[in-house]
Amino acid sequence: TEPLIRIEKLVKEFKAQSPGPDGQPGVVKAVNQISLQIQKGETYGLVGESGCGKSTTGRMILRLIEPTRGDIFYKGNKLNDLREEDMRKMRQEMQIVFQDPYSSLNPRKRIGNAIQEPMSIFNVGHKKERKERVLELLSKVGLHPEQYDRYPHEFSGGQRQRIVLARALAVNPQFIVCDEPVSALDVSIQSQIINLFLQLKKDYALTYLFIAHDLSVVRHISDRIGVMYLGNLVEEAETDALFANPLHPYTKALLSAVPVPNPEAKRERIILTGETPSPLNPPQGCVFHTRCPAAKPTCSHAIPQAVRIAHNQWVSCHLYS
Ligand code: SF4
Ligand code: MG
C-alpha cells in the first residue's frame, strides 16, 4: 500500500555566506538525496547531531522549505508542484511541533485563543464548536479546561509544549513533524511529554516523523529509526533491530552513548574524534570517513551505496558491500 509519506532523493542546497574551497560562491548541501517512507500510523524517528539536516528534511516534507531537487508524496499525491491553494488542504492535515515551546507561543495571547487559531485559519467549525474542541484538547493534553484564559507565562516549559501540541491537533491533522519537541525540556519531564505524544497518537490515529539528536529519546516512541550524518541518511532499521544490532559505525557510536539500565549489558563508549566536517566542504567518498574508527582506504574516495541487510534494515557503508 502507498505510504502516508514518501520522499524520493530529496536534496536541499543553500547558498553559503562564505566562498567554497575553490573560491567560487559556496553551496551547502544540507540534505543529500534522502529517500524514506512513513506508513500510516507509524512513528519514524530521525536521529543525528545538530546541523545534520534532519530539521531541514522535516520542513521540506511540509514545504516550509522548498527542496532543491527530489520529490515529496503525501498519500501518493506529489506535493512539489502543488499551488499554494492546493497545498492549503494538505497543510491542515500536516502539522509541525517545534523544539522551543517558549518562542512557539505568542506571550500576549490567551492559550485558549492560541489553540483555536488554526481552526480560524483553516475555517474549521463554528465558534461554539471551536471552543468545545479547545476544551476537549486541553484535557487531552493533560491541562485543565479552566486554564483556557491563562497566558503562556503562567505555564512551565512542559505545559507549554502540551499547549503547542493541543494547537497542532486543533485542525485534526493526520501527520505531525515533531522537531525535537522535548530537547528544550528538563530531562525529568521529557518522558512525560513523550508518553503524551504516544497517547495522542493512539487517540487520534496520528503518524509522526519524530526528530531528535539523541537515540534514547526516540527509542520508546519510534517504530523505525533513520540515522543521519552530514546531510545523508546512513542507516535505517526497525527500532529493536537498530538497538540490538547497529550496523553503521556512526550508529554504533551514537548508541554507545545511550545509558543502559543493565550495567552488564553496557557497551563500550565509542568516542568520536575530530570535528564534524563543514557541509560547505564535505569529505569525498564516505562523508563519515574523517571520523570513522573503521575507515579503510576505499572510504576516502568511494561513496558507499545503500545495502539491504535484512527485510527492514539497510546501511550505507563499505564494510557491508
Ligand atoms: Fe566508516 Fe568506511 Fe563505513 Fe564510511 S564507509 S562508515 S568510513 S567504514
Ligand atoms: Mg534542528
Which residues contact ligand 1 via a Cβ below 6 A? 248-249, 286, 288-289, 292, 294-295, 299, 304, 317-319
Q: Determine the structural domain holding residue 98 and report its residue range.
A: 5-320
**287 Cα nearest atom in ligand 1:** 4
Q: Answer whether 119's CB lies under 8 Å from 131's CB.
A: no
Are residues 107 and 147 in contact, defined by beta-carbon separation less than 8 angstroms?
A: no
- Compute the C-alpha angle 100/118/58, nearest 5°: 50
User: Are the C-beta atoms of 234 and 33 separated by less than 8 Å?
Assistant: no
Instruction: Please state whether beta strands 313-316 and 232-238 pair in parallel, antiparallel, or not at all (unpaired).
Output: antiparallel
2: confidence class by pLDDT, cuts 50, 70, 90: very high
Q: How do residues 158-198 score in pLDDT, each as one tens digit?
A: 999 999 999 999 999 999 999 999 999 998 899 999 999 99
* pLDDT above 80 for 231: yes
Q: pTM of the predicted model, to two decimals? A: 0.95
pLDDT of residue 273: 86
Query: The domain that contains 220 carries what CATH number?
Result: 3.40.50.300
Angle at 213 between CA 155 and CA 27, to 5 degrees: 115
Number of domains the chain is built from: 1
Q: What is the pLDDT of residues 122-139, one digit of tens each?
A: 999 999 999 999 999 999
Q: What is the pLDDT of residues 24-69, one digit of tens each?
A: 778 899 999 999 999 999 999 999 998 899 999 999 999 999 999 9
Q: What interface predicted TM-score (ipTM) does this complex get?
A: 0.97
What ranges in the chain are assigned the alpha helix state H?
A: 54-61, 84-93, 111-121, 127-140, 157-169, 187-204, 215-219, 239-244, 249-256
Question: Which residues, 6+ apart, have CB-to-CB distance to 22 below 8 Å?
Answer: none
Single-letter amino acid code for the residue at 96: I
Measured in Å, residue 190 CA sits from the centre of ligand 2 at 17
Cα(299) to centroid(ligand 1), Å:
6
